[in-house]
Amino acid sequence: MDALQVLFELLMQKDLTKGHFIGFINVLIGRRILFEDGTPVSQGLSWRDVATWLRKTRWDPDAAKELGQDPKALPPRDRQRYWFTAIAQSRIDSAVAREAGDRFAEILSKHGYQVAGPKK
């Protein structure tokens, strides 16, 4: 099974991103994620890849509110465009998002993952 799929299933089952969604997106895009044993999960994803994963896993569209987006203002029929647009407009490279990413990395570490610093 794909390591990212395992990660997304854990996040959805335990609702770990609630209140931490911008940190979650910041980590997915800008950092390396590893299992505790050092096995790579992700080397950092593109916005498009994150949007694809959110669409594929049928992520709750209301999570876009945590990115400061109004779900009604996003493309309603194409979920990949919906998530791509939400990510693009959310300033995931801001200091606030990086700090949220640091907090989310701590959450992941409690569930058997390591998160390497921001991608250079």
* % of the chain surpassing 70 pLDDT: 97
Confidence of residue 96 (pLDDT cuts 50, 70, 90): very high
- Using CB atoms within 10 Å of the CB of residue 110, give its burial: 0 to 12 exposed, 13 to 18 middle, 19+ buried: exposed
Q: What is the pLDDT of residues 17-68, one digit of tens each?
A: 999 999 999 999 999 999 999 899 999 999 999 999 999 999 999 999 999 8
Q: Say whether pTM exceeds 0.85.
A: yes
Give 36's contacts (C-beta < 8 A, 6+ positions apart). 112, 113, 114
Amino acid at 88: A
